[in-house]
Structure 1
Amino acid sequence: MAANWVERITAFSRSPSEFLLCTSSETFLAELLRELRDDKASDSVKVALLSPLCEYPTLLCPSITVAEETALELMSVFAQCLPKSLQLRCHLLLALTSVLTCSFCVSTASSGSQDFLALLLQIAQETNDGAAVRPLRAVACDCLRELEACCPGLLTQRLELLSGLRQKETSRLHQAYAGLHILGLRNAVYLLALQPGAGPNDLKALLGGNEVTEWEPDPDSGTLKNNSALPSPLVLGPMGRVPTLQTGADCRELRSLLSSLLEESYLLTPIAQAALLYGLIEVVAMVPGVSPAVLRAQLLRLLGTSEVCLLHTALLMKATFTDSLFSAEDEAFVLKRLVSLSQHPLQSTPEKLFYMDCILHFPENRPISADGDESLPVLLTPRLAAALVPTVFNDSASMLARLNLLSLVYLEDGEDEEEGGRGVAYLYDHLISLCRIVENRGSREMVVTFFRASFLFLYHFSHVERYAESLTQRMCELYIRHTRLAPHLINLANHTQDRLVESGWAAQLLGALQTVIIDAPLGQLKLQELRWHFMVLARVAEEGEISQRSTISFLFSVITSSSSSLCVSGDWRLGNSVLSVCRQLLVHPSLDTILSRLADILQHLTCNYGDTDIQDHARLYYTLLTTLSREKLGAVLAQGVSNGGQHAKTRSLSSSIMAESEDLTTALTIRQTGRPIFKLVRLDSYEPQRGTETGQKLELHNELDPHQTEPPMDPERDILEAYRAQFHNPGFASEITLHYKLTHTEVHDAHFDQLYSIRMHLDLTDSHYRELSDLSIPCLFRDRVLPVVKLRLEPRQPYPTTLRASAIFTTQDGLSWHTNLPDIQVAFQQVFMPLPVPWAWGDGDKLRVFERTWEEISSGECRDRDAAECATSLFCCELEEKALHGLVEKHFLPYLMTDLSEDQYKVLVYLPPQSHVLLKITSEEDAVQFNIATDNWQLLPFINSFLHTITTCS
């Protein structure tokens, strides 16, 4: 029965709505309560039974009446529990709190909620029952705090009781009582301040109130209706934005209470201290009779702390009380401390970013901005901020934050004049340093950082002409060297144009990129470079003020040149890039001046391009260009036509060249699916990697030509020299092939049951692999055999990676769709390959390669590599001999250099392009040892993680 209940609770938690289709919430709740009352059920089962009430109280208790009855049942179960059932009693209190608060029983002051409140207060006062009851009292305090947060003012009449419990408690529970007390005090003062005519006598009565009066859900009795929680935080800025309680100077009781809480704050954890001080700040802000100086004693400790939460509380004090609590010297000290912490080497990156954000939003005693807008503090001078100048050794986030901060500092200091200040010059030099790193094939992260830094610099200093012009020139030089950066440059131009409306830098950059592309030698252009060039030229064509004569001449030269072989290649993506430029030219303001040459280009593509789809689109564009007027052409090609009137207009304009029933917009549009339609599922049944096509062709050639057959390895010949000689052949053993099946996702949509002409594109998320070619799959039918897709990866570094996949396909009704596939995870072990030795070599030759490689790495005398790249390591785990044998047979059999019957297993794994991992696996008395040797030390973390995974699962 217990096992059955565990299964039912698991099924309910997995999908409550689906579970309740087979039964009703009333029936399930009745069964839960009946089982809770059963004395035969164990405490662990009863704890599991309470989880639905804790997680889904409103689903099981949809009305106040049901919640009230459920609460009474749970309190009855609590009363019958034995004292030793501590865990069950704690979970009962939590379930009661969830049921009563979520069903609004607390705000309506129902009898069940009043009884539960009395029960919680009774448990909280049982301070003499020893350590055994402390967990129950801690849970009771948490439940009281939840009730008070949901129904503010609930503990208003019990502040003196809470104060006494806090002062008497000497265990760790003192922290829970202190947090409960300050929350009740804060809410009580807030509600009292809302009452008109409240004065010092009311405050005294409030602080001394300890009467157990009837709880009424009325604002006059100190609570709020409808579970309306108080604003959090109350303090949003300087004093005066919260309700105030006019008490005069007679606030001795409140000052005494605040002093007591401040003295005890040292005993709390940093987070609890921050919460306590937060509440005290709000109380002082609401009672003008209490001077903020009462918090003065805490400032020295708070300003010298290394805890982020406490420093944040100190800044809250400054934002609330400004010069009422902080002097000019304090303000300068806080600012210097923030600058120091922002670059301290022991701080983590998130902490450094937090401190720099605090500088940007520093609450000044005398803010200059009259409209309340935030601005840099006056005390942050270039000299003080010099410690935060960005360097190329900073992480990306810190570098960008520093660049932004220093830019604001130099702007504030007036260093943006025509000549440019020294600080701005340094920032520009830093930007050029990042550019040089990108030019030298920096990492993907560095590329993104450079372009973000460029945007920040332009955002602040685009009006300084000499820097703007110089940066344009550097961007053009960078693009010519690395055309793959075209998406980044276009993105930079787009964001700059959007954010800097009055600046013409984006158009200046696009015009310069157009010039360098046109001036590039045509005979030296590669097809891959052309794709990026066309992407840039399409973006340039969106600018109406940039002449397109040179672009049209470049297009005509490229597609008609025999050296470029553009049309012969028939590459769909490349052809689509050409069409994207033509489409933008069709709507360009200067179309009249380029019309004849553009028509020639479209006609040439129609007749000569090697892809039928590109020919059809080019023919359509040619028809539109030669048939429609400028106005009609712009209307047909306008994007975003959605309402009926415009749609009808487009239909009428196109009626002269198409049948009325045909929809031109449909023919030109590729739709986006709202979710993935299909996915790639890894096939583990395929054999391990056997080498690249190049290696296979070499072996096949040797088999067919006896004269080229290489004899078995001569024992006297250097085995490693012969093995490494293979790598002189370009592309030898440099690829891995992964097999996947293409299958529909679980969500069934009959519209996508039959898919045709699937063109899949794969994007890398890092620079560890070379770019992948697009894949073509003829069709995918839900009720037929699933096609197998081969992914050929060429690693630069054999690390795990993630591939982002997207695809364009056609449905049975002829519509084209674009969908994003779930990311493809390439694990470390998927890069493993057996040792790529000549086909005639035997097992003995492979073992000799292992022994000689192990000897070289162990001695640190790697001939073909830097000795610093070689490394050895040791991994140990506990495995039985039988389990070890099974592990080796399952994971290392294709790479094994010895027989399974031997005492020591020798494994050699090859990872392209030219890395090796060697293992000697032995079973000792107390553990299994994996002795590791590799000629690429950067693989050690992945090796360790892989071994940990397979040995843990064994």
Structure 2
Amino acid sequence: MAVNWADRVSAFSRSPSHFLSGTTAEAFLAELLRELRDDRAGYNVKVLLLSPLCEHPTLLCPSDSVGEETALELMSVFAQCPPKSVQFRCHLLLALTSVLVCTSCVSSRSPVSQDFLDLLLQLSQDPGDLHGDGALHSLRATACDCLRELEACSPGYLSQHIELLGGLRQRETSRFHQAYTGLHTLVLRNAVYQLTQETGAGAEQLKVLLGGNTSVAWEADQDSGRTNNTDSGVLFSLILGPMGSVPTLQTGLDCKELRSILSSLLEESYLLTPLCQAALLHRLTELVAMVPGVPPAIFRAQLLRLLGTSKVCLLHTTLLMKCAFTDSLFSAEDEAFILKRLVVLSQHPLLSTPEKLFYMDCILHFPENRPISCSDRDETLPVLLTPRLASALMPTVFNDSATMLARLNLLSLVYLEEGEEGEGGEGRGVANLYDHLMSLLHIVDSGGSREIVVTFFRAAFLFLLYFYHMERYSSSLVEKLCELYLRHTQLAPHLISLADHTQDSLSESDWAEELLKALQRVITEAPLAKLNLQDLRCHLKMLARVAEEGKIPQCSTLRFLSIIAPLPSSLCVSGDWRLGTSVLGVCRRLLVHPSLDSLLVPLADILQDLTCCYGDTDIQDHARLYYALLTTLSREKLTGVLAQGATEGGRQIKKRSMSSIVAESEGLRSALTIHQTKKTNAQVFSIRLHFNLTDEHYEELSDISVPCLFRERSSPMVKLRLKPLHPYPTTLQASAIFTTQDGLSWHTILPDIHVAFQQVFTPLPAPSAWGRGGKLDLFEGLWDELCSEGGDCATSLFCCQLKEGALMSLVEKHFLLYLISDWSHKEECKVLFFLPPQSHVLLKITTEEDAVHFDIATDNWQLLPHITSYLLTITSSQDDTHS
């Protein structure tokens, strides 16, 4: 039973939808609950049975009513479970929590969820566990985890048990004290948040809440506990939203009970792990921010260790605290110290790269005591971060890529405010960044790795993003990039990407246009004597991008094409299809250029040269089409034909078009795509049949095309010729691709083709000159040899009840083509089947007193099951026919 359930649960976990296709969720759930109630099943098996309810509760319990019934069953199982089965009881609690939470029973405060809450609270305060051997500690810890899950999924669910939870926290002396502290803090924070949502709530309601006096009628008990999803999301980001968005509870100065609880929690925070300390301080920060009656100075005693912490989580909590309380808790000296510490940590050699990147991000989003900007998203620098302080973060070529780019971004923001003059009039800040960029360029020029190349172009983009307006740097960068390109033409895609992103991000700047114009100049003016095929491809790719700019003159591009296009050039002699497509790509963009009127004659000459001289027929055809469009259509019509598809800013959005004639569009892509279909198509013009083997018994079948179909004629019959590798039955999977009247191609699945065992039979391939006597001699020789040898040879006997007339009909219907003996000798029939490629099956059919005997001999013993099945089929059908 255990093995069976292990397999079933494993199958359900692998693919629940596939598993439930063979049964129903209701039936599977009933089986699980029945097995959980069975006393004969072991507890290891029962733990396994709970995993589907923990992992996929909504599949097995699709409605609240099913969830309630399932929870009642599980609670009944828990009540009957012996206390010593601690592991199983823990898993039961987890399963109950998953079912109740996921089926909304908790949020709707159903009776079964209230019973489960009482059970959890009872387990959490079980006095018999306080001095136990530790085995039952896990049950209390699981109950605490379940309570925290209920509160997290339904904020305010435990708000009437704050005093009880506080007592449990103070009484707990084991390692689970940390879990109870986290639970108490979470419930307290959520309860106070609920009070802030109630009109008129104040100090009196807060006292009632903290006292846990459930007999006092609280207006919000039923309704406000059912917090909607929006409120649940706010609970996780109260101090991270826009300024002034934290809800407040006006209590005046009468908050002694709350202050006492907060002080107790803060005193015990030293006992927690750093991660739990951070979570505790975060929740208490939100709580104090919601209650103005509690001064932020309550955290003052914690600041000394928080400012000097080396833990990322605690430092992050400190910054959240600073964001919430600003100068009401942190002095100007504290602010300066935190900022200097972040700068030091951002370059600390013992810290990992992710940690240093985090600290730099904290600098960019530093919560100032008196912020100038109220933006919550844009990166802004704190006022105290001077260029002198930030100079320690100057990027170097020894930094990894992420650190280098992060430092460059931060220093660019610093020196953007400095301007070109800088401190002391020297202006070395931006100059130092530009020198660093040139150092990267020299590494790329010297054969740097792909990572260095990508880092350099990202750094160049960042530099331009901040300093594009500084003419001496932006112009110098254009010049350096052109020199780099001439030495390394394979960088063309990176330069194109840099131009694209700069043009998109800096719409007010013409730097990208200047770069493309300069690249066009160096390409067209470079000597062609040393130009190889790879460089030419890159040049054409770059010129195609230049041709997309309407403001850049294209006369030099046409001169370049007119030099390489005529017959003596290596371009036409090579006949390279990809190279020809690159040339056509440039021509196509020139066809839609705004200055086409001045380019008409030289462009037509280039297209005519390609049409007459290029060594590839496809390129000639496309060039001929372009030439015809250029010389016969008006400019408006030409633009309409070639500019189909979306364009933006003069550039094609879809770069990888399936057509080199027109831009890709939905209609073109639909026409070139094979669609999946299950519907019937009445008008089909061409069919291509494809067959897939399901085993390795036959050779692969090639596709079959049926090109012509006529409605007035009968459908053509397709015959498959199989070549067996092993003579066994098989199944072929068939599919078809066909074309319909609208020009679309469709793909559909056809029914499987089953190849029966008897379809492999062929007559004995003997010369016709042998006659019946020669075949009989061969049969007897084979029979004796098969009966005497071992190995793969085997003999068998098949018996059945057949009347004489039925036997003769069977032989005539099924064995006549393979009959070796004379038809007149009815006392014994000899049959020989040849099964390609080299197997034989011999039958001697005789009538005895009690039955008909089929003596079988074969040289392949693996055929015996198929032979027996075949004989059983034909004899049964024959007997049914005569009866």
Amino acid of the structure 2 residue aligned with 1:202: Q
Q: After superposition, what is the alpha-carbon deviation per residue over 1:197-233, rounded to whole angstroms, capped at 9, x for unaligned?
A: 2221221111111548999995556443689625121
Return the alpha-carbon distance in structure 2 between the equivalents of residues 633 and 550 of structure 1: 23
Alignment of 1:265-276 (within 5 A): 265-276=269-280
Return the alpha-carbon distance in structure 2 between the equivalents of residues 184 and 569 of structure 1: 78
Partner of 1:634: 639
Q: After superposition, what is the alpha-carbon deviation per residue over 1:502-557, rounded to whole angstroms, capped at 9, x for unaligned?
A: 11110000000001101111121111111110010000001111110000010111
Q: Would the aligned equivalents of 2:485 and 2:492 in 1 still touch at CA under 8 Å?
A: yes
Amino acid of the structure 1 residue aligned with 2:443: I
Do residues 389 (structure 1) and 362 (structure 2) align? no
Return the alpha-carbon distance in structure 2 between the equivalents of residues 336 and 243 of structure 1: 33
Deviates more, 1:77-86 or 1:222-231: 222-231
Return the alpha-carbon distance in structure 2 between the equivalents of residues 175 and 214 of structure 1: 32
The change in CA–CA distance for 1:85 and 1:347 in structure 2 (over 3 A counts) is same
Return the alpha-carbon distance in structure 2 between the equivalents of residues 669 and 575 of structure 1: 26
Amino acid of the structure 2 residue aligned with 1:64: D
Q: After superposition, what is the alpha-carbon deviation per residue over 1:678-734, rounded to whole angstroms, capped at 9, x for unaligned?
A: xxxxxxxxxxxxxxxxxxxxxxxxxxxxxxxxxxxxxxxxxxxxxxxxxxxxxxxxx
Amino acid of the structure 2 residue aligned with 1:253: E
Q: Give SS of 2:136's match.
A: helix
Q: Give SS of 1:503's match.
A: coil
Partner of 1:444: 450
Alignment of 1:670-749 (within 5 A): none
The change in CA–CA distance for 1:39 and 1:673 in structure 2 (over 3 A counts) is farther
Do residues 508 (structure 1) and 514 (structure 2) align? yes
Return the alpha-carbon distance in structure 2 between the equivalents of residues 674 and 144 of structure 1: 59
Alignment of 1:136-151 (within 5 A): 136-151=139-154
Match 1:543 to one of 536, 549, 560: 549
Partner of 2:523: 517
Return the alpha-carbon distance in structure 1 between the equivalents of residues 168 and 89 of structure 2: 22
Q: After superposition, what is the alpha-carbon deviation per residue over 1:334-361, rounded to whole angstroms, capped at 9, x for unaligned?
A: 0001000100011111111111011001
How far did 1:158 drift? 0.7
Aligned residues: CA RMSD: 3.4
Q: Give SS of 1:152's match.
A: coil
Q: Give SS of 1:528's match.
A: helix
Partner of 1:327: 331
The change in CA–CA distance for 1:416 and 1:67 in structure 2 (over 3 A counts) is farther
Partner of 1:474: 480
Match 1:486 to one of 484, 489, 492: 492
Partner of 1:529: 535
Return the alpha-carbon distance in structure 1 between the equivalents of residues 460 and 229 of structure 2: 52
Amino acid of the structure 2 residue aligned with 1:556: S
Return the alpha-carbon distance in structure 1 between the equivalents of residues 420 and 50 of structure 2: 65
Return the alpha-carbon distance in structure 2 between the equivalents of residues 293 and 543 of structure 1: 62
Partner of 2:8: 8
How far did 1:369 drift? 2.4
Q: Would the aligned equivalents of 1:219 and 1:225 in 2 still touch at CA under 8 Å?
A: no
How far did 1:268 drift? 1.0
Q: Percent identity?
A: 69
Q: Give SS of 2:249's match.
A: coil
The change in CA–CA distance for 1:167 and 1:641 in structure 2 (over 3 A counts) is closer
Partner of 1:378: 383
Partner of 2:309: 305
Q: Would the aligned equivalents of 1:217 and 1:225 in 2 still touch at CA under 8 Å?
A: no
Stretches of structure 2 that go unaligned for 5 or more consecutive residues are 648-658, 677-683, 691-700, 706-719, 722-736, 746-883
The change in CA–CA distance for 1:554 and 1:670 in structure 2 (over 3 A counts) is farther
Do residues 365 (structure 1) and 369 (structure 2) align? yes
Partner of 1:28: 28
Return the alpha-carbon distance in structure 2 between the equivalents of residues 615 and 191 of structure 1: 76
Return the alpha-carbon distance in structure 1 between the equivalents of residues 544 and 24 of structure 2: 60
The change in CA–CA distance for 1:226 and 1:608 in structure 2 (over 3 A counts) is closer
Alignment of 1:49-448 (within 5 A): 49-129=49-129, 130=132, 131-209=134-212, 211=214, 219=222, 222-224=225-227, 229=232, 231=234, 232-237=236-241, 240-369=244-373, 375-415=380-420, 421-448=427-454
Q: Would the aligned equivalents of 1:514 and 1:537 in 2 still touch at CA under 8 Å?
A: yes
The change in CA–CA distance for 1:513 and 1:56 in structure 2 (over 3 A counts) is same
Return the alpha-carbon distance in structure 1 between the equivalents of residues 663 and 507 of structure 2: 34
Q: Would the aligned equivalents of 1:250 and 1:289 in 2 still touch at CA under 8 Å?
A: yes
Amino acid of the structure 1 residue aligned with 2:209: L
How far did 1:126 drift? 2.1
How far did 1:607 drift? 2.1
Amino acid of the structure 1 residue aligned with 2:17: S
Do residues 620 (structure 1) and 625 (structure 2) align? yes
Return the alpha-carbon distance in structure 1 between the equivalents of residues 137 and 262 of structure 2: 26
How far did 1:483 drift? 0.4
Return the alpha-carbon distance in structure 2 between the equivalents of residues 397 and 667 of structure 1: 37
Return the alpha-carbon distance in structure 2 between the equivalents of residues 379 and 513 of structure 1: 43
Return the alpha-carbon distance in structure 1 between the equivalents of residues 226 and 587 of structure 2: 69
Return the alpha-carbon distance in structure 2 between the equivalents of residues 674 and 164 of structure 1: 73
Partner of 2:733: none
Q: Higher relative contact order at CA 8 Å, sep ≥6: structure 1 or structure 2?
A: 1
How far did 1:20 drift? 1.6
Q: Would the aligned equivalents of 1:670 and 1:816 in 2 still touch at CA under 8 Å?
A: no
Return the alpha-carbon distance in structure 2 between the equivalents of residues 676 and 249 of structure 1: 73
The change in CA–CA distance for 1:313 and 1:781 in structure 2 (over 3 A counts) is farther
Return the alpha-carbon distance in structure 1 between the equivalents of residues 84 and 123 of structure 2: 15
Q: After superposition, what is the alpha-carbon deviation per residue over 1:900-929, rounded to whole angstroms, capped at 9, x for unaligned?
A: xxxxxxxxxxxxxxxxxxxxxxxxxxxxxx
Return the alpha-carbon distance in structure 2 between the equivalents of residues 560 and 443 of structure 1: 38
Return the alpha-carbon distance in structure 1 between the equivalents of residues 493 and 686 of structure 2: 31
Give the number of the structure whose alpha-carbon radius of gyration is greater: 2
Amino acid of the structure 2 residue aligned with 1:537: L
How far did 1:376 drift? 0.8
Return the alpha-carbon distance in structure 1 between the equivalents of residues 139 and 470 of structure 2: 67
Return the alpha-carbon distance in structure 2 between the equivalents of residues 18 and 674 of structure 1: 34
The change in CA–CA distance for 1:169 and 1:674 in structure 2 (over 3 A counts) is farther
Q: After superposition, what is the alpha-carbon deviation per residue over 1:745-803, rounded to whole angstroms, capped at 9, x for unaligned?
A: xxxxx9999799xxxxxxxxxxxxxxxxxxxxxx9969999xxxxxxxxxxxxxxxxxx
Amino acid of the structure 1 residue aligned with 2:210: L
Return the alpha-carbon distance in structure 1 between the equivalents of residues 523 and 637 of structure 2: 32
Return the alpha-carbon distance in structure 2 between the equivalents of residues 23 and 243 of structure 1: 51
Partner of 1:462: 468
Amino acid of the structure 1 residue aligned with 2:252: G
Return the alpha-carbon distance in structure 2 between the equivalents of residues 607 and 109 of structure 1: 84
Return the alpha-carbon distance in structure 2 between the equivalents of residues 209 and 168 of structure 1: 17
Return the alpha-carbon distance in structure 2 between the equivalents of residues 188 and 675 of structure 1: 61
How far did 1:670 drift? 10
Q: Give SS of 1:551's match.
A: helix
How many residue pairs get matched? 681
How far did 1:634 drift? 0.6
Return the alpha-carbon distance in structure 1 between the equivalents of residues 689 and 540 of structure 2: 30
Partner of 2:829: none
Deviates more, 1:137-146 or 1:36-45: 36-45
The change in CA–CA distance for 1:578 and 1:355 in structure 2 (over 3 A counts) is same
Do residues 604 (structure 1) and 638 (structure 2) align? no
Partner of 2:652: none
Amino acid of the structure 2 residue aligned with 1:389: M
The change in CA–CA distance for 1:292 and 1:455 in structure 2 (over 3 A counts) is same
Q: Give SS of 1:387's match.
A: helix
Deviates more, 1:207-216 or 1:518-527: 207-216
Return the alpha-carbon distance in structure 2 between the equivalents of residues 212 and 575 of structure 1: 88
Amino acid of the structure 2 residue aligned with 1:263: E
The change in CA–CA distance for 1:663 and 1:402 in structure 2 (over 3 A counts) is closer
Deviates more, 1:614-623 or 1:522-531: 614-623
How far did 1:39 drift? 1.8
Partner of 1:18: 18
